[in-house]
Amino acid sequence: MFLVIDKDYIKAEGTGRTFPIPAMQFLTSLNYLSSLRIFAEATGNNPDDCKCQPSQRCWPDSHAWSRLNKTTNGALLKTVPPGIVCYQGPAYDKEACEKISEESKYHTWITQSPFNVMQPGWNGNPCPPTGGAEANGTCNTLLGSPVYVINATNPSQVEAGVKFAKKYNIRLIVKNTGHEFLGRSSGAHSLSIWTHYMRDADFTESFKPKKCSKAKAHSAVTIGSGMQWKDLVLLAHPYGKLVVTGGNPTVGCIGGFMQGGGHSPIGSKYGMAVDQVLEINLVTPSGQYITANECENSEYFWALRGGGGGTFGVVTSATIRTYPTQPITILSQNFTLTSDDTDIWWDWMAYVHSDIPRISEAGLMGYSFIFDNGTGKVGWAAALTMVNGTAEEASDILKPLYANLTNGKYKDHIIYDQQTYTFPDFMTYFVNFFRAERVGSTAVLPSRLLDARALTEDPAFFAATLKKMWSPYVGAYLGHIVGGPGVAQHKNVDMALNPAWRRTYNHFIAAAGWDTPDLRDAVVDHARNVLEYNLRKLAPETGQYLNEALYGSEGWQAANWGSNYPRLFSFKNKIDPNGVLYCFNCVGSEKWVESANGSLCRASWA
């Protein structure tokens, strides 16, 4: 059964039946799925429509895989976890194990692995490189990992991979760098397309999208989908340019980061990463290589800018805007509670957050953290950025905040310190300020986009919410002050990005984690029923950043894309009715059910 989604109805083609449904009801509730499921079962929808697995007859034989390897000029890789050298058997190597055990802690190593990801649990954590006493353990080489990987270096190899997966009904996934919190770069019994080595860069002062003869020319760079931010920043510097980056040097520029929106440490000045995109080259779910921009394949262009990665095609390259480089000032700020009065601390935090819209409009942006400082006291640290501003100008913006602290009711309870650093250009700032993350964390990320109403309307409620959510399970509150005027200036550009971003000032995460597996269920329960629940009460009309959100978030369609979801769902059904590209909680994924053993089957209603 093929579903057509309109703003007023859902039509089941081939059945003659139409179901009226208001668009916002579609977005805010999944109750409509129940009625569709009943109807679909009544019309004979096949519940056994599943992706092929290696143990089944439908799985390609060795000759088929050899042909794919030949078609891709030897780019096909068989999955062999690097950690296998830590386990007894023919591959055991003590020295190699010790080396991998250290290197695999950092994301730089993960990006260079064909199938490892930042959070190895998504791959089933096959063969953790522990060594020592663990060397006699079991090394399960599959679990949640792909069976084969195409090390793609050109679009024709991507085309071959997509067509092969489509022909044999194999689950297809895409990995760029593996910097993925929600498991979208992983998948059991799958073929993976790895884009890490598609790394070309071509700078120009006058780029115009194809077939857009009347378009304004822009300073831009065309990059391969494997390009990472640190490398691009270094390449742009000799041209006197900056690019709107993410906050991690190893993240891929135009993979899931850009396709999901891509917030930036300089976003309050220039907008999000997705706002910089002028043109995209991709391989569609049908295996066709196309160019998408405002003038051709415009619906692909719309969907790929904010609709999420691994869904509408495999991006092979894109052209993004560049800007003249600027001096960057960093204002490092710390607040620490010195008394035992936690109520006054949360009251102060509410006041600080209520000031975020003002400081954002004045030109400050960046990242903040609320955390236990290790002494039983809670603290707040922020690294605020100002583009083309002096240390004095940055400090002046915060004077009203400090005045309230030193002259008001907080002065006997909270201390602060501040330092400023000025860098001569964007490159110097980026390479000195940002470092690759450690990997392997076990964390969940309930989040919410906070607009001016949420931040300023009821400080007492804001304070009570922060206090209510704080618990031993919470590692930190992360405040991404990355919205504001730079993001709002693009509000009239038609793209799939959640419209709530255009009025957001703070992308707020309540990060929760566990040290031992026995705590996992309790932490996840707390994240869903306390953290996410209260964040949604704080900002009920916004949403969340789809790349940094709680796995399995309730009502994820509305939370991730707002009013854009019906259009995205309809377009996904149109271009990929058989689900060649699937990832959990991605557009159209509700049509599929993934079981614990990795099988992926159509939902009975789909």
What local confidence, expressed as pLDDT, does residue 388 receive? 98
Residue span of the structural domain in which 305 resides: 201-324
Give the per-residue pLDDT at 121.
63
Let me know if residue 582 belongs to a domain.
Answer: no
Whichever domain contains 226, its CATH number is 3.30.465.10
Model confidence band, residue 2 (pLDDT cutoffs 50, 70, 90): very low
Distances, alpha carbon 138 to alpha carbons 1, 95, 126, 522, in Å: 43, 19, 9, 28
On whether both 299 and 224 belong to a single domain, the answer is yes
258, 273 Cβ separation under 8 angstroms: yes
Contacts 24+ apart (CB under 8 A), 41-50: 41/604, 41/605, 43/1, 43/12, 43/15, 45/1, 45/602, 45/604, 45/605, 45/606, 46/602, 47/601, 47/602, 47/604, 48/601, 49/601, 49/602, 50/599, 50/600, 50/601, 50/602
**Mean confidence (pLDDT) of the chain:** 88
Kindly indicate the confidence band of residue 48, based on its pLDDT and cuts at 50, 70 and 90: low
Say yes or no: 347 and 496 in one domain.
yes
> 475 and 375 in one domain?
yes
DSSP H/E element including 423: strand 414-423
Strand order from edge to edge, sheet including 17-20: 2-5, 9-13, 17-20
Total domains present in the chain: 4
Banded model confidence at residue 138, pLDDT cuts 50, 70, 90? low
Shared-domain flag, residues 460 and 409: yes
pLDDT band at 120 (very low <50, low <70, confident <90, very high): low
324, 356, 374 — which closes off a domain?
Answer: 324
Is the pLDDT assigned to residue 21 strictly greater than 90?
no
Q: Are residues 209 and 346 in the same domain?
A: no
- Which of 16-30, 122-136, 516-530, 592-606 shows the lowest mean pLDDT across its residues? 16-30
pTM over 0.85: yes
Higher-pLDDT residue of 185, 152: 152
User: Same domain, yes or no, for 496 and 401?
Assistant: yes
User: What separation in angstroms does the CA of 495 have from each of 164, 293, 378?
Assistant: 31, 11, 40
Whether residue 32 is predicted with pLDDT greater than 90 in this model: the reply is no
Residues 251 and 218 in one domain: yes
388 in the same domain as 239: no
Least confident of 439-453, 469-483, 555-569: 439-453
Pair (424, 556) in one structural domain: yes
CB 494 within 8 A of CB 302: yes
Q: Is residue 592 included in any domain, yes or no?
A: no
pLDDT of 471 above 80: yes
Q: Which residue has the higher pLDDT, 127 or 365?
A: 365
Domain limit, last residue, from 295, 324, 353:
324
Q: What is the CATH number of the domain that holds 427?
A: 3.40.462.20
Mean pLDDT value across residues 412-441: 89
> Which of 207, 22, 125 is closest to 440 using CA atoms?
125
Residue 377 has a pLDDT of: 82
Q: Is residue 493 part of a domain?
A: yes
Q: 306 and 338 share a domain?
A: no
Do 355 and 503 share a domain, yes or no? Answer: yes
- Using the 3D structure, point to which of 284, 307, 324 is the last residue of a domain: 324
Q: Is the pLDDT of residue 27 over 60?
A: no
pLDDT for 40 beyond 50: no
C-beta neighbour count of 206 within 10 angstroms: 9
